[in-house]
Amino acid sequence: MTHRAIEPGFVRGAIRAGLWLGLALALAACGSTPPPPDWQMSARASLERAQKAGLTGLSTIEAAEMARVRRELARTGRADLLARAELGLCAARVAALDFSPCEPYEALANDAAQAEQAYARYLVGQPLPGDAVWLPLAQRPLLAGGEAARQALPAVVDPLSRLVAAAVLMRRGDASPAVVSIAVDTASAQGWSRPLLAWLGVQRERARAAGDQVMADRVQRRMDLILRESR
């Protein structure tokens, strides 16, 4: 069984290469027989549901599913698997511009694999020399920031990975209006209300700062619609 570089994304049919693939590979048996233990399937399914719930603003479900993940992975005594799962959930929160410390991952960071440690540094905008080799291929051009990173953003195929990359650019002060628009369009297309509200908030405040009240009001109406229907 080999370790893969990580990148957040959903399990849809064949799981996309990335964080969830890395976790799935670690959780799944290397061969087709015998069937994987129940804890593997349970942890994998709950992790997917936790991420989906978080992106759509269902915090109670997110917390309940993540608690199941922790219980299942704790049974293995594998702190590295739990660190990977915690980092995946924090990456989804970064996509919604939640830059609070990823405390559950940090508590396990000493046991995390090199790919997770590199990705954690990427999320906070503090990469080290040599980290690129541990990141997913699509994320590597974004590592240095600046115009090259902004130009590379549309080529990130996975929607959540694209949002995470945009958030990292925002955190580093590299988020142009085009980056914000890409993030808004990405979250909207997926129906991910939590990151959509966060990115629309950025768009609204920038419009206000530029004196474009018409644009600011239009964005506010979008935000009001989301908030009204989510009650």
- Residue ranges of domains in the chain: 19-229
Judged against a pLDDT cut of 50, whether residue 165 lies above it is answered with: yes
Compute the distance between CA of residue 129 and CA of residue 143 in angstroms, rounded to an integer: 10
Which residue is associated with the tokens 């009650």? 231
Task: Give residue-wise pLDDT tens across range 85-142.
Answer: 999 999 999 999 999 999 999 999 999 999 999 999 999 988 898 999 998 887 888 8
Judged against a pLDDT cut of 60, whether residue 208 lies above it is answered with: yes
Q: Torsions phi, psi of 182, nearest 5?
A: -60, -40
Residues 54/59/64/65 CA torsion (nearest 10 deg): -10
Burial annotation 195-209 (CB, 10 A radius, 16+ → b, else e): bbbbbbebbbebbee
Task: Give residue-wise pLDDT tens across range 55-76.
Answer: 999 999 999 999 999 999 999 9
Lowest model confidence (mean pLDDT) among 44-58, 85-99, 140-154, 182-196: 140-154
Compute the distance between CA of residue 89 and CA of residue 61 in angstroms, rounded to an integer: 13
Evaluate whether 83 touches 105 at the Cβ level (below 8 Å).
Answer: yes
Using CA of residue 173, residue 175, residue 177, residue 180, what is the dihedral sign?
A: negative
SS3 of residue 32 by DSSP: coil
Which residue is associated with the tokens 């991420």? 51
